[in-house]
């Protein structure tokens, strides 16, 4: 505090940092009534001072010197929006140990090092809030830790990456191929110059690790998540999915089973009537199932300057209330269990599989016997069309062990009558 | 506290009370890890002891004597799930003044007397939480007061009554008429013996008053809400709506305009692509628009024993954490403004209108001139079919003043060429 104003330092002034700056400014008059105190942005840590100075009214708050912030005892709250592991990790730990409260959107860091960050916050009885780290502006972390806290959460399924959801929506609605939809996403600013983290599912995996940790009260890290991206999805897959009454979405799926936690990110066919199926464009949604609440879904903007800033400034207000009430650290790490993570091989899934085979008698029998010998039950077997000597087959399995399905796949790939296995996509 | 256990008293053991009893029991082992303390259900206040004793393991906790609870200083949290205005109001006020914290699901009471309840909680620095009062298990009040608190909320639209949503879904999907769908809802337990509060929109109006108060930081009461129920909606209206790419839903609509707050509950045509349009059966959803977060939606079970108990026990846990951290009253009434409520006459709406007119030349011209003379612009004029000497007309207006539209309606009703005005439904 300084002159009766709560002092905040912002680390980073990129898209999200700029959003935080704007929202704090918009709320300048409201916040006094909301909190009984004004929040002042006292310092902004940046690398490039000149670029940063153009973005703010009072350039004197810009600094490149972390120590200047760390050692300023009037600063109560540090908002870390630099992203990446280092130096964010060091700064946050140093700040917590100095008794400062942290608000961050850093999913990369939390998905890997969540435990030490939250333990350090707890030791120092300070707040460590990160609503913006998952699904941007959508309140999901706080509801799981508060309003839904009396539930045993059985399942969390999320569309938590806007870039891939935009791409899949365009592919579905305009019959575009992946590369074209990605190009459009890049042009419109939905995809970054290097889109790897989005299209390969890494970004979604970080978010689902964080969600699973909170939902199941047991630490799940990025390394625990099985990951498949959407680069192999074709417009034809989506068309066939729609014929079967399904959409294809990149889903983060986490389940709390008796045998342990299942956690994965991959494209899936999902029934068009499921609430997640109509979450389109760059929107995100998180669907949960709890033993008391039943099904619930949270929908909104998962990224962007202002939606992400909405969550961050919400967290800042929350910390401010805790400081005023002298109860920082009120909600800390909720991972009080140590549940095992299940191997993907041991998980039960349904599969959609599309392949080209020789169009001659006996082929179907051979294919089905491979599945049969490996405990893979088939729900549907559809011959889609013929072209020349080849027939296109679509197979939908029943619930089967991933292990058994992969065994079948390995054998099918060696068979000369099978010319191409074009797609293998899980079915929700 | 007593023997290191936090003591809770439950007022009422109907559907919701029984749910709270069950969820607290389910969470018995979890809660110690979640909160660091056990929560004990110390007393249950009922009217009929014999009936209540059958529902609980330890009948000694049942009482009919409020004073026994009020004067027991070991009881920290009172959970009021009796419903209705009195004696709930008196009990809550007495309990707050005695320094007890309150969790309630009582929308009837809050929508009328919210201010005095929350002021009394604040004076006594105690918690007054009511997540379950709106949209059952769906976290919406706490997100609005915390994660979304850095927004100026512009609009809240909710499907907040499961009974009417179930009825409208059945009418749409199975082409049922209102009376038949209501009968089915009653048989399945979705509608109460006296369904008035649901089908006339009163229940939804209470919830939207509470939502609007929180969203706009200004007290809105039940009396402020313009209310229309769904009893006049026909299967034909829904069929025509669908032909136009819309669903009909009972929507609670609250908007924060420069001129004041608009708040109403009525059936509306809503575009099928809107996320609210696919909220079916007895599910609820609340859609909000904020200046930072943009569009967001919260979806789930709006009623029922366990979903409602999910929200209530979530609140109990929340209070327990506040008691432990010595910060009860951390979040209190957020109505720090006094915005005017706009008269319905001054609001701008779009209308769908269906009528039977004489099938002869000049009728259309007469009808359109009535609209024209009253500043009502027509977007679509559709002649649906003829039967005998009558033609069925559907009119969709542009955005028009309710006042102007009602003037037109009054005149049309006097015209002999107009045989029947069958439906007037607003369009979102």
Measure B148 CA to nearest chain A CA, in Å: 6
The pLDDT, as a whole number, for residue A387 is 80
The predicted-structure confidence for A199-227, as pLDDT tens digits, reads as follows: 999 999 999 999 999 999 999 999 999 99
Measure A129 CA to nearest chain B CA, in Å: 11
Q: How far is CA A82 from CA A135, A245, A315, B257, in A?
A: 17, 42, 17, 37
Contacting residues of B for A151, CB less than 8 Å apart? 310, 314
Which of A100, A107, A207, A249 is the catalytic position?
A207
Q: How far apart are CA A215 and CA A158, in angstroms?
A: 12
CB contact under 8 A, A139 and B143: yes
The secondary structure of chain A, three-state, reads: CECCEEEEEEECCCHHHHHHHHHHHHCHHHHHHHHCCEEEEEEEECCCHHHHHCCCCCHHHEECCHHHHHCCCCEEEEEECCCCCCCHHHHHHHHHHCCCEEEECCHHHHHHHHHHHHHHHHHCCCCEECHHHCCCCCCCHHHHHCCCCCCCEEEEEEECCHHHHHHHHHHHHHCCCHHHHHHHHHHCCCCCCCCHHHHCCHHHHHHHHHHHHHHHCECCCHHHCEECCCCCCCHHHHHHHHHCCEEEEEEEEEEEECCEEEEEEEEEEEECCCHHHHCCCCEEEEEEEECCCEEEEEEEECCCHHHHHHHHHHHHHHHHHHHHCCCCCCCCCCCCECCCECCHHHCEEEEEEEEEEECCCCHHHHHHHHHHHCCCCEEEEEEEEEECCEEEEEEEECCEEHHHHHHHHHHHHHCCCEEEEEEEEEEC
Contacting residues of B for A142, CB less than 8 Å apart? 142-143, 146-147
**Scanning every residue of chain A, which has its alpha carbon at the shortest distance from the alpha carbon of B34?**
A334
Closest alpha carbon to B247 in B318, B186, B164: B164
* First and final C-alpha spacing in chain B: 51
Interface of B with A in 281-340 (CB under 8 A): 290-301, 304, 306-307, 309-311, 313-318, 321-322, 325-327, 330-331, 334, 336-337
Residues 6+ apart with CB under 8 A from B261: B212, B216, B218, B220, B224, B254, B255, B339, B340, B341, B342
Contacting residues of B for A276, CB less than 8 Å apart? none
Per the prediction, chain B carries an average pLDDT of 96
**Scanning every residue of chain A, which has its alpha carbon at the shortest distance from the alpha carbon of B326?**
A327
Cβ burial, residue A302 (10 Å; 0-12/13-18/19+)? buried
A207 is catalytic: yes
Measure A390 CA to nearest chain B CA, in Å: 40
List residues of B with catalytic annotation.
207
The predicted-structure confidence for A245-266, as pLDDT tens digits, reads as follows: 999 999 999 999 999 999 999 9
The answer to whether the beta carbons of residues B97 and B71 sit under 8 Å apart is no
Nearest to A293 among B217, B310, B330 (CB): B310
Q: How far apart are CA B20 and CA B124, in angstroms?
A: 26
Average pLDDT over residues B244-251: 96
What is the DSSP track for B86-113? Answer: TTHHHHHHHHHHTT-EEEE--HHHHHHH
The CB density around residue A421, as the number of other CB atoms within 10 Å, is: 15
Instruction: Give me the percent of chain A exceeding a pLDDT of 70.
Output: 100
Nearest to B147 among A139, A148, A306 (CB): A139
Measure B138 CA to nearest chain A CA, in Å: 7
Longest C-alpha distance within chain A, in Å?
86
Residue B191 DSSP code: S
The pLDDT, as a whole number, for residue B255 is 98
The answer to whether the beta carbons of residues A214 and A145 sit under 8 Å apart is yes
Average pLDDT over residues B194-212: 98
The predicted-structure confidence for A47-71, as pLDDT tens digits, reads as follows: 999 999 999 999 999 999 999 999 9
CB contact under 8 A, B139 and A148: yes
Angle between helices B235-243 and B162-174 (to 10 degrees): 70
**Bridging pattern class, strands A75-80 and A5-11:** parallel
Nearest to A23 among B23, B292, B330 (CB): B292
Q: Is the pLDDT of residue A108 over 90?
A: yes
Q: Is the pLDDT of residue B332 over 90?
A: no
Q: Is the pLDDT of residue B142 over 90?
A: yes
Contacting residues of A for B275, CB less than 8 Å apart? 278, 299
Which of A295, A296, A304 should one mutate to test binding to chain B, selecting the residue with the greatest count of B CBs within 10 A?
A296
What ipTM describes this predicted complex? 0.95
**Scanning every residue of chain A, which has its alpha carbon at the shortest distance from the alpha carbon of B39?**
A150
Q: Is the pLDDT of residue A386 over 90?
A: no
The pLDDT, as a whole number, for residue A134 is 97
Average pLDDT over residues A115-136: 97
Q: Which of A149-153, A379-383, B46-50, B246-250 has the lowest mean pLDDT?
A: A379-383
Q: Is the pLDDT of residue A164 over 90?
A: yes
Closest alpha carbon to B10 in B40, B48, B54, B41: B41
The answer to whether the beta carbons of residues B147 and A314 sit under 8 Å apart is yes
pLDDT confidence band for B372 (50 / 70 / 90)? very high
Token output for B225: 């809400």
Interface of A with B in 12-41 (CB under 8 A): 19, 23, 26-27, 30, 33-34
CB contact under 8 A, B148 and A139: yes
The answer to whether the beta carbons of residues B107 and B211 sit under 8 Å apart is no
pLDDT confidence band for B85 (50 / 70 / 90)? very high
Q: How far apart are CA B23 and CA B41, in angstroms?
A: 11
The pLDDT, as a whole number, for residue B129 is 98
Q: How far apart are CA B346 and CA B264, in angstroms?
A: 13
Average pLDDT over residues B182-191: 95
Interface of A with B in 86-105 (CB under 8 A): none
- pTM for the model stands at 0.96
The answer to whether the beta carbons of residues A266 and A201 sit under 8 Å apart is yes
The answer to whether the beta carbons of residues B182 and B140 sit under 8 Å apart is no
CB contact under 8 A, B293 and A137: yes
Q: How far apart are CA A281 and CA A271, in angstroms?
A: 18
DSSP E strands, B359-411: 378-387, 390-397, 400-401
The answer to whether the beta carbons of residues B245 and B271 sit under 8 Å apart is yes
Measure A251 CA to nearest chain B CA, in Å: 18
Nearest to B314 among A149, A301, A331 (CB): A149
Q: How far apart are CA A72 and CA A1, in angstroms?
A: 10
Q: How far apart are CA A255 and CA A260, in angstroms?
A: 8
């Amino acid at each position: 505090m300084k002159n009766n104003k709560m002092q905040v330092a912002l680390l980073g002034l990129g898209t999200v940092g700029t959003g935080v700056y704007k929202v704090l400014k918009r709320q300048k008059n409201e916040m006094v009534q909301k909190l009984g105190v004004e929040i002042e942005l006292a310092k902004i840590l940046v690398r490039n001072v000149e670029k940063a100075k153009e973005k703010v009214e009072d350039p004197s708050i810009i600094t490149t010197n972390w120590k200047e912030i760390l050692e300023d005892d009037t600063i109560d709250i540090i908002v870390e929006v630099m992203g990446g592991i280092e130096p964010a990790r060091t700064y946050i730990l140093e700040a917590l140990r100095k008794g400062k409260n942290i608000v961050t959107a850093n999913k990369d860091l939390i998905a890997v090092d969540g435990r030490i960050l939250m333990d350090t916050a707890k030791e120092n009885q300070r707040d460590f809030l990160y609503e913006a780290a998952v699904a941007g502006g959508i309140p999901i972390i706080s509801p799981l830790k508060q309003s839904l806290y009396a539930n045993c959460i059985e399942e969390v399924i999320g569309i938590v990456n806007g870039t891939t959801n935009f791409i899949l929506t365009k592919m579905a609605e305009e019959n575009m191929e992946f590369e074209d939809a990605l190009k459009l996403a890049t042009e419109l600013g939905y995809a970054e110059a290097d889109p790897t983290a989005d299209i390969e599912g890494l970004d979604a995996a970080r978010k689902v690790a964080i969600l699973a940790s909170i939902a199941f009260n047991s630490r799940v890290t990025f390394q625990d998540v099985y990951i498949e991206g959407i680069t192999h999805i074709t417009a034809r897959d989506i068309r066939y999915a729609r014929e079967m009454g399904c959409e294809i979405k990149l889903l983060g799926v986490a389940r709390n089973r008796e045998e342990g936690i299942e956690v994965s990110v991959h494209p899936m066919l999902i029934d068009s009537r499921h609430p997640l199926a109509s979450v389109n464009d760059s929107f995100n949604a998180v669907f949960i199932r709890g033993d008391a609440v039943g099904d619930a879904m949270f929908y909104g903007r998962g990224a962007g300057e202002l939606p992400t800033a909405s969550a961050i400034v919400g967290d800042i207000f929350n910390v401010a209330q805790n400081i005023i009430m002298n109860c920082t650290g009120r909600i800390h790490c909720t991972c009080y269990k140590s549940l095992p993570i299940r191997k993907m091989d041991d998980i039960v899934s349904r599969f959609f599989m599309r392949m080209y085979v020789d169009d001659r008698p006996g082929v179907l029998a051979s294919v089905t016997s491979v599945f049969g010998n490996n405990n893979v039950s088939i729900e549907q077997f559809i011959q889609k069309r013929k072209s020349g000597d080849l027939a296109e087959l679509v197979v939908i399995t029943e619930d089967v062990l991933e292990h058994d399905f992969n065994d079948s796949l390995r054998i099918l790939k060696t068979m000369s009558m099978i010319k191409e296995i074009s797609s293998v996509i899980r079915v929700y």
